[in-house]
Each structure stands twice: as structure tokens, then as C-alpha cells.
């Protein structure tokens, strides 16, 4: 029982105003909110930084991406996997999962339907997918960093995102319209999964094993070389294998392998039944040879492009982190597995003619993640002097990397690899106009630049690159140019034909051979040009008149090579009369 005096004293004590009570509690709450939103903020900022860098490329979409666009149109319209109506089924794409995303977008009215704010959705939709995938990549970096460096994961994300934004190879090919951003996302997800499993000791859990297999399956369906990621989980398990956990490890690897292999085997059987091949026709056309040890040296080109100073500092930080026991060592060891696998895959692929290493996108993602994690681990473990030295070294190396890339990057920005819109105008619209002027109502055009042509041509298209033509692909694979020429000049006998640069020598369709087969030039450029089969035109005078009319236009087009855009929609039959 409380005495009257105590009650009186309690009444005399000043009460704390309600507004002041939460003052001490607000600080940890605000700190908790900052910590909660630090990673999402870092992901958002770096995603916007990558998008800003990509904006320098404008509406550029590489023409190879438009081949998949054409297949997406055919699939969505119920025609099946064909390059255009009436064509035979040929797997002229190598990215089924990316194709599926385009088909979904088209079905939802987001792709291949029109324009938004004057920009075609053929540009906006794939670039929006790229932006989402980039955010996903950086979110995976944050997830991996949080497992290793809690409280500093936002800084790791900022560093990795900054490295990727500074790398035009990553930025350009992620926003090219190709499947690169989805492949990058699968690589980043694999890295994050292995890092978390290695650091938290959950690598052998069934959900981790199954998820690793599923991500590898998505990678293999995004690019054929993505199948190498199926080996990442078993190798990581082997790194941390203990004798008392052998049975559990075997079960986990079996689950991951089955999650990948069973659906992928079903897909391969479908491919064989549909197209008669175990690999995409694109692989046949490119005549991919069995890998040689010497090819791995091409991976050194990536170090030169990325910057040797940056690579050496990253290697030093990784070496320091790996030398010390703890979560960073386990994380980096796990992360180096998919990085090594993607480097090997890059090395064994045939050399690509496109600029800025388009097959290296997953390598850049995993390398940037490893670099940022290693630098973050060193930063946390060292004192103020070492931190200052590390920070200065990182800044200097990044500056050297950016300046070293500058000249090559500027050339790419001002004249990027073959644009879809250039092909639309130069081959799609131009050959439609040729056909109209020359009275070729129902004809075939043979040429090697395909994407924009397929989207706009009212003619049947014969792919001289072989990506969408089985006979041409087989001829390239057999290195039998005589069979290729016989198929083109004696079998198909297209009314219109175009070759240029390396394709003239590769196909053997030289001016002399075309002349002997009855073709006459409409426009010549270098060792190739535009040709028409003379006996297909009723009025020869029209050929002469057409030659005089088209040269100024085509010369101006060749000088530009990068149109600002090509209209809100691309449909077969477009193109003004020549």
C-alpha cells in the first residue's frame, strides 16, 4: 500500500510531455529505416546510372535482335517458329527464353504494336526488360554483399554498379535488344545463391540445390553457352565438401542436376523433333568448332579492355580476402566458380565480329561483384591508412580504365554495330521499293543482313548468313561454298540479291559469278552491291533508270549508318517507291 506522502510526491514529479517521450526512441528507428532502405537505394541509384549511360546509344537496337523480334511476331500470330509467313520452321534464334518474353510482351500489347511518346515499342519494350534485368543484377549483388558484409552491402552495390556503368561493353549489349541482360541476371543470381549458401552454411539445402538448377536451366535457354552455369553448383559443393556430409552433398548435387537436366533434355527432344537438330541452326551456320586450348587466351582481351590496373587491384584485394579466414573467403571462393566457368565459355566461343565483346556480359557482372566484395572485405579489415590507400588506388585504376576505353567507346557510340533501323531502311524498304518499281510482284530477295528485313520485307527472304536457312547453314558448316552457290543461283534463283564486304568472299557470290548467272547490278559498293536477275524484269529500261535514281540515296544512307529511328511500327510491305 502506497503512503499518502508517497502519493503526494508522485503527483509533484513533473510528467514527461508526450512529444518528448519518443525522442530517444526515434534515433534507432531512423537508423533502422536507413539500414532497411540503404540497399534498395543503392540498387536504384546504380540502375539509373547504367540507364543514363545507355541513353547515349539512343534508340539503337542491333539488327541481330530483330531476328528474334520477327520470330516473336510469327509465334504470337500462330505461325510457329518461322522467320516469316510461309517459311519452313528453322531455329534461327538461340535465345528461347528471351523469345518467350517478347511473345508475352506482344500478346499484352506492349511490343510490336506501335509507339509511346514517339518511340517505337520495338525499342522501348526490350530496353525496359533490360532495365528490369539490370535492377535484378544489382539486387543480386546486394543480396550477396549482405551475407558477407552486413551494414556495408550498400557500398558494395554502389561500387559494383559503378563498375558496370563505366563498362560500355556491359551497358551497350545489355540494351541492344539481345538476350544479354537476362543472361547477366542468371549469372548474378547464380553468384548470389552460391555466396549466401557458402557463407551461411545452407549450400546443401534442397531449396538451394533446386534453385541453382532452375537458374542454370534459364541460363541455358537464354544462350547455349549459359549451360556452363549448371556446373557451378556441383563445383561449389565440392569446394566445401566434408566427409561427414558426403551423402547429403550427393543428394543435393543430384537434385540440382535433375532440376536442370530433365527439363533441358525435354527441350532438346522438342528441338530435334521440330527442327531436326540438337543445336540451334545459328550454331550450325557459325560453324562452331570443338574448343581448343589456345582459344582461352582470348579471355585476356577482356583484361585489356577492362584495364590492367583495375584487374591487378581486384586480384590483390581478392588475394588478401582469400588469405584470411572468414565469410569473405568463403564468399569469394564460391563466386569465383561461376566467374571461371563464364570465362571459359567466352574463351571457347568462336570470335565474334561485333564490337565490344558482346558475349562477355556475364563475365563483367560476376567480375564486378567479386571485385566489389573483395574491396569491401579489405576496407572493413584495414585501418585508416590502408583504407585511404585502397580508395586512392581504386579511384586511379577506375580513371585509367575509363580513359583507356574512351576512344573505342566513342567510336561505338557514334557508329554502333549494325542497327536494326539501318537494315530496315537499307534492305527492307529499299528492296520493297526495287520490287515495286521493277514490277516484281512475288519474288525472293537474298541477303545476309536479316532482322530489319524480316520485319518489313514483302518478299520471301533467303538468309545468305545461314542463320534461318538450313541449306545455307549446312554449306557453311561443311565449308562447301560451291554447294551454297548452287543452292542460291540454281536452286532458289532469287529475283533480287545483295552481298557486301566479307559476305562476298565467304559465300563466293562475286560480281563475276553473279554476272554469269544472269544478275546485273542496281547499285555497287566495294566488292558487292544490289543485284537483280535480268530475266525477271520485263522492261530492261527500268533497270537503267533505277540505277540512276537510287545511288545518291544509298550513298547518303551508307554514310549515316545510324538512323534516329525507323517509325512507330515495322510491317511487311513498307517502303516508298524508288
Q: What is the 3-state secondary structure (H, E, C) of 11-31?
A: HHCCCCCCCCCCHHHHHHHHH
pLDDT at 37: 83
Rounded distance between C-alpha atoms, residue 398 and residue 401, angstroms: 5
- Summarize pLDDT for 57-91 with one digit per residue, the tens: 999 999 999 999 999 999 999 999 999 999 999 99
Rounded distance between C-alpha atoms, residue 175 and residue 131, angstroms: 8
Task: Tell me the whole-structure pTM to 2 decimals.
Answer: 0.91
pLDDT at 116: 85
Of residues 299, 305, 312, 301, the one with CA closest to residue 397: 312
pLDDT at 5: 43
pLDDT at 287: 75
With a CB cutoff of 8 Å and minimum separation 6, the contacts of 183 are 219, 222, 223, 226, 361, 362
Question: Strand order of the sheet with strand 460-463?
Answer: 460-463, 444-447, 496-499, 528-533, 519-525
Judge whether 83 and 461 are in contact, CB under 8 Å.
Answer: yes
- Summarize pLDDT for 325-347 with one digit per residue, the tens: 999 999 999 999 999 999 989 98
pLDDT at 27: 53
Rounded distance between C-alpha atoms, residue 413 and residue 424, angstroms: 20
Rounded distance between C-alpha atoms, residue 561 and residue 419, angstroms: 7
pLDDT at 151: 84
Rounded distance between C-alpha atoms, residue 223 and residue 561, angstroms: 28
C-alpha cell at 94: 538461340
- Tell me whether strands 444-447 and 496-499 are parallel, antiparallel or unpaired: parallel
pLDDT at 351: 72
Neighbours of 223 (CB within 10 A): 26
Rounded distance between C-alpha atoms, residue 477 and residue 277, angstroms: 13
pLDDT at 504: 92
Judge whether 219 and 183 are in contact, CB under 8 Å.
Answer: yes
Rounded distance between C-alpha atoms, residue 345 and residue 288, angstroms: 13
Rounded distance between C-alpha atoms, residue 203 and residue 330, angstroms: 12
Rounded distance between C-alpha atoms, residue 68 and residue 113, angstroms: 16
Domain boundaries, the chain: 91-414, 420-560
Ramachandran area for residue 134 (φ above 0: left; ψ -120 to 50: alpha; else beta): alpha
Question: Please, what's the b/e burial string for 504-518 (b: 16 or more CB within 10 A of its CB; e: otherwise)?
Answer: bebbbbebeebeebe
pLDDT at 229: 97
Rounded distance between C-alpha atoms, residue 450 and residue 467, angstroms: 9
With a CB cutoff of 8 Å and minimum separation 6, the contacts of 9 are none
Rounded distance between C-alpha atoms, residue 217 and residue 3, angstroms: 77
Rounded distance between C-alpha atoms, residue 42 and residue 306, angstroms: 23
Look at residue 223 and give its three-state secondary structure.
Answer: coil
pLDDT at 563: 72
Judge whether 380 and 152 are in contact, CB under 8 Å.
Answer: yes
Which segments in the chain show pLDDT lower than 70? 1-28, 30-34, 288-297, 350, 561-562, 564, 574-578
Rounded distance between C-alpha atoms, residue 137 and residue 63, angstroms: 25
Amino acid at each position: 500500500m502506497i503512503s499518502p506522502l508517497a502519493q503526494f510526491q508522485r503527483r509533484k514529479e513533473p510528467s514527461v510531455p508526450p512529444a518528448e517521450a519518443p525522442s530517444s526512441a526515434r534515433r534507432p528507428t531512423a537508423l533502422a529505416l536507413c539500414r532497411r532502405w540503404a540497399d534498395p537505394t543503392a540498387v536504384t541509384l546504380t540502375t539509373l546510372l547504367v540507364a543514363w549511360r545507355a541513353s547515349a546509344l539512343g534508340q539503337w537496337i542491333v539488327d541481330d535482335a530483330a531476328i528474334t523480334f520477327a520470330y516473336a511476331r510469327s509465334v504470337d500470330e500462330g505461325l510457329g517458329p518461322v522467320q516469316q509467313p510461309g517459311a519452313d520452321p528453322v531455329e534461327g534464334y538461340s535465345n528461347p527464353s528471351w523469345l518467350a518474353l517478347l511473345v508475352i510482351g506482344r500478346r499484352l500489347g506492349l511490343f510490336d504494336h506501335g509507339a509511346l511518346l514517339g518511340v517505337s515499342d520495338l525499342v522501348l519494350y526490350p530496353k525496359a526488360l533490360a532495365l528490369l534485368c539490370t535492377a535484378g543484377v544489382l539486387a543480386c549483388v546486394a543480396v550477396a554483399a549482405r551475407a558477407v558484409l552486413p551494414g556495408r552491402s550498400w557500398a558494395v552495390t554502389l561500387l559494383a554498379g559503378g563498375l558496370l556503368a563505366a563498362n560500355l561493353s556491359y551497358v551497350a549489349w545489355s540494351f541492344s535488344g539481345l538476350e544479354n541482360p537476362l543472361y547477366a541476371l542468371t549469372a548474378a543470381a547464380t553468384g548470389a545463391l552460391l555466396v549466401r549458401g557458402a557463407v551461411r552454411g545452407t549450400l546443401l539445402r534442397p531449396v538451394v540445390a533446386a534453385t541453382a538448377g532452375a537458374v542454370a536451366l534459364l541460363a541455358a535457354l537464354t544462350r547455349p553457352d549459359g549451360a556452363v552455369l549448371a556446373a557451378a553448383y556441383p563445383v561449389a559443393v565440392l569446394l566445401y565438401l566434408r566427409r561427414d556430409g558426403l551423402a547429403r552433398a550427393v543428394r543435393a548435387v543430384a537434385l540440382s542436376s535433375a532440376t536442370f537436366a530433365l527439363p533441358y533434355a525435354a527441350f532438346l527432344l522438342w528441338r530435334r523433333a521440330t527442327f531436326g537438330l540438337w543445336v540451334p541452326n545459328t550454331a550450325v551456320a557459325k560453324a562452331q568448332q570443338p574448343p581448343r586450348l589456345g582459344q582461352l587466351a582470348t579471355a585476356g582481351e577482356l583484361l585489356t579492355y577492362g584495364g590492367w590496373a583495375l584487374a591487378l587491384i581486384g586480384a590483390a584485394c581478392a588475394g588478401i580476402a582469400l588469405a584470411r579466414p572468414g565469410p569473405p573467403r568463403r564468399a569469394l571462393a564460391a563466386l569465383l566458380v561461376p566467374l571461371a566457368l563464364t570465362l571459359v565459355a567466352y574463351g571457347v566461343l568462336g570470335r565474334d565480329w561485333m564490337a565490344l565483346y558482346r558475349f562477355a556480359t556475364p563475365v563483367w557482372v560476376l567480375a564486378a561483384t567479386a571485385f566489389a566484395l573483395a574491396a569491401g572485405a579489405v576496407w572493413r579489415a584495414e585501418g585508416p591508412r590502408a583504407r585511404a590507400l585502397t580508395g586512392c588506388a581504386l579511384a586511379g585504376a577506375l580513371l585509367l580504365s575509363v580513359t583507356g576505353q574512351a576512344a573505342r567507346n566513342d567510336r561505338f557510340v557514334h557508329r554502333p554495330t549494325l542497327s536494326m533501323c539501318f537494315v530496315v531502311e537499307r534492305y527492307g524498304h529499299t528492296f520493297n521499293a526495287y520490287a515495286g518499281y521493277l514490277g516484281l510482284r512475288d519474288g525472293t530477295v537474298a541477303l545476309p543482313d536479316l532482322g530489319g528485313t524480316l520485319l518489313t520485307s514483302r518478299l520471301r527472304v533467303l538468309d545468305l548468313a545461314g542463320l534461318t536457312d538450313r541449306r545455307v547453314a549446312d554449306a557453311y558448316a561443311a565449308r562447301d561454298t560451291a554447294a551454297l552457290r548452287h543452292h542460291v543461283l540454281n536452286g532458289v534463283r532469287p529475283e533480287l540479291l545483295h552481298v557486301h564486304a566479307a559476305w562476298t568472299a565467304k559465300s563466293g557470290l562475286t560480281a563475276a559469278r553473279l554476272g554469269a548467272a544472269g544478275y546485273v547490278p542496281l547499285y555497287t559498293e566495294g566488292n558487292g552491291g544490289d543485284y537483280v536477275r535480268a530475266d525477271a524484269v520485263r522492261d530492261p529500261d527500268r533497270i537503267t533508270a533505277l540505277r540512276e535514281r537510287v545511288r545518291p540515296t544509298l550513298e547518303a544512307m551508307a554514310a549515316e549508318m545510324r538512323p534516329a529511328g525507323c517509325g512507330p511500327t515495322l510491317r511487311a510491305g513498307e517502303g516508298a517507291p524508288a
